[in-house]
A and B are shown apart, each in its own frame.
Chain A
Amino acid sequence: MKKDQGCLGSRGACKAEKGLWVMKHIAIGILGAAALGFTASAASAGTLDTVKQKGFIQCGVSTGLAGFSAPDDKGEWQGIDADFCRAVAAAVFGDGTKVKFTPLSAKERFTALQSGEVDILSRNTTWTINRDTALGLNFVGTTYYDGQGFMINAKKLPGVNSALQLSGAAVCVQTGTTTELNLADYFKSNKMEYNPVVFEKLEEVNAAYDAGRCDVYTTDQSGLYGIRLTLGSPADHVVLPEIISKEPLGPAVRQGDDQWYHIVKWTYFALLDAEELGITKANVDEMKNSDNPEIKRVLGQEADTKIGTDLGVSNDWVVNIVKAVGNYGEVFERNVGSGSPLKIARGINALWTKGGLQYAPPIR
């Protein structure tokens, strides 16, 4: 059952891959720098045009986090973040399959977006002011409201049932994340000590935690549920009740390209509005003939509508999105909710009409 996420093939091949990865990681930095140095600052073509020219969207995802973006046994990327990119592809091309995925570690992700290696970063990334301003990114919204939690091996540490008992523990964490910053803040403000055990790749953190190098695993709570499934014996591990931070996870694009930003942002809103209006993958064709003017408008059925063309896509873009991946609720349940092994409840990710935080401006 133990799966080496993101590092397929034999153990030997896996290690060779790691070597390559180290080089790739360094290369990205240097290439990024070189690209910045050697390209004269001509005004860049809009992302929409380049994407249309290429014929697909290059989507930055994680290297394999169940529920958000992980390859299944056929090598297809599954998860909320992967489906989000499919939704954008459906809006742009009318075809949700026109996506190519680039797996990125926490550390690589921003450089990859800045340097144009990917068109969208859809990789359980927390929206913070620093990233939104100083890094040249624009976050489009929060596709998943999360918070940071802790996981321990209850079999090895039977007495521990609160994060406040963790003083002195060795804590495994991935570098280049908000996680390592919250961790430092939390232990400091609670006057507790800890030993950070810091790795760069998800797979290394998982292996070290599984081997007992650390007592505690910390990351976004949703991530903990996903990671637990990949451990040797998932049932031994419990997620502690404390949530120590706000982690609004969402897709980001490069700054300075408003059209692309709007397309990606409204794709997210369309997913939410479709759910709110009860438009699903199964009934979307029927719904086109609905008597409800709002539904007709959203689905581009009004006469002389400009509901898509003003955005730079076709007028039936919402139809295409819902046909490709379903509405937000469907995406959620299929990937992390009741239809998935993670079984996460909607909680604060429910629509505002159901007491949650997911709220989208109207499509009109």
Chain B
Amino acid sequence: MASQEILREEPSRGSFVNDPKIRSIFFQTLVIVLLFGSVWWIVQNVIDNLARLHIASGFGFLRGRAGFDISDTPIAYTSDSTYGRAILVGLINTIIVAVAGVITATIIGFVIGIGRLSNNWLIRKICTVYVEIFRNIPPLLVIFFWYSGVLAVLPPPRESFHLPFGSFLNQRGFYFPRAIWGDGSWLIGVAFLVALAMAWFVAYRARQRQMATGQQFPVFWTSVALIVGLPVLAFLLAGMPLTFDLPKQSTFNLTGGFQVKPEFLSLYLALSCYTAAFIAEIVRAGIRGVSKGQTEAAGALGLRSGPILRLVVVPQAMRIVIPPMTSQYLNLTKNSSLAIAIGYPDLTATAGTVLNQTGQAVEGVFIMMIAYLVLSLVTSAVMNVVNARMALVER
């Protein structure tokens, strides 16, 4: 054993310099030292230069009183809150518009993408025109288009459009009644959760039964009945503990109710429409990528076109679709920083205000970069999980 080892190491004995192992360790260490050295050098330089220019530095400013107000505050925030919290409000606003945009863009994208493969000439052409228009306009223009559109077309608050259910639409946004849940409302929530669990159970049993006996069970309609029916029943049993805060006219604006501001609306619509065009192309490519033989085989088994799409084509297409979809979601999230141009208080806008009011540009830019980086990494991670699950479905 020992002699064997000596034999094996014989060739490298001559010099360390030629030992590939030692060489690689040496160069890797060198790279790391250089990397950390230059980062350290840059950081030191920044600190020195800031001190030389008499500019305050450090992250202590995050605990200071912000002193400015923000128009959309999903979490409690006043001008007495800290700068750190102001940035958090911006981050949450970015997440809200990104999540809403991703969901809507995906839905529109799927509809348009499938529409482009339709047998109907008109539908096909409409979808093509949609894709060509939105894919070829810069997103900032789409945002301005919606924003100017909203402001130019809608009436001032005193002449709001009255919509059904006590909702209003005007230049200041879309107002609808806000639900105020009274005592006993928790029953409804519980009923909803129970219904979800039951629906899942029904689906599980139905699949088992179909595997065993081949008989089908109307899972979809049962689930709908459960998920709608149970909470409604609970609502009635609890004595209808629901009142509405209706928007009403006051001196300047409508007050009360729930207001969706035009800044959010136009950013959300613009990002959704814009990204949907790209998603549509990805979906079309994905469906095209499933070989025709699959559809024909499914048809030969007697499936109709709906189930063929749902059970055979889309699941296979998803495997092609999901990876490029991730980058569209990332693009949408990053494009949401264009919000700054129309005054939606996203991360870039609020962190920018903080940066400006405190004068701490280096720290402000650093926080923004880290926040977007983390958002992107989380999105990628979630999509990777989805991707992995899709890949498992493959048999």
Enumerate chain A interface residues (CB-CB to B < 8 A).
Answer: 15, 18-19, 22, 25-26, 29-30, 32-33, 36-41, 106-107, 110-111, 114, 130-131, 133-136, 156-157, 159-160, 165-166, 168-170, 175-176, 180-181, 183-185, 188, 194-200, 204, 208, 211-213, 215, 254-256
Contact = CB atoms under 8 A, between A and B. Distances in A.
B356 A110 contact: yes
A180 B340 contact: no
Contacts of A184: 67-69, 79
Listed from nearest, the 7 A-B pairs whose CB atoms lie closest are: A135-B359, A176-B356, A184-B79, A136-B55, A134-B56, A37-B42, A255-B54
A195 B342 CA distance: 15
Interface in B19-53: 42-43, 45-46, 48-50, 52-53
A262 B140 CA distance: 45
A76 B315 CA distance: 64
Given A168-B255, A213-B171, A196 B69 contact: yes
A134 B356 contact: no
B252 A170 contact: yes
A170 B252 CA distance: 8
Contacts of A39: 45, 49
Contacts of B171: 211-213
Contacts of B52: 41, 256
Contacts of B251: 157, 159-160, 165, 168-169
Nearest to B171: A212
A213 B262 contact: yes
B365 interface: yes
B340 to A, nearest CB: 6
A165 B252 CA distance: 10
A194 B262 CA distance: 16
Contacts of B231: none
A157 B343 CA distance: 24
Interface of B: 42-43, 45-46, 48-50, 52-56, 67-71, 78-79, 138, 140-141, 144, 151-152, 156, 171-172, 250-253, 255, 262-263, 338, 340-343, 345, 348-349, 352-353, 355-359, 361-362, 364-366
Contacts of A212: 151, 156, 171
A36 B46 contact: yes
B72 to A, nearest CB: 10
Given A29-B355, A168-B251, A40 B45 contact: yes
A170 B84 CA distance: 25
Nearest to B348: A26
A15 B45 contact: no
A106 B361 contact: no
Contacts of A197: 71, 263, 343
A255 B53 contact: yes
Given A15-B141, A168-B250, A136 B349 contact: no
Contact of A254 (B50, B53, B68, B70): B53
Contacts of B71: 195-198
A107 B352 contact: yes
Contacts of A25: 340, 352
Contact of B358 (A29, A134, A156, A213): A134
A37 B55 contact: no
A175 B361 contact: no
A160 to B, nearest CB: 8
A15 to B, nearest CB: 6
A175 B43 CA distance: 29
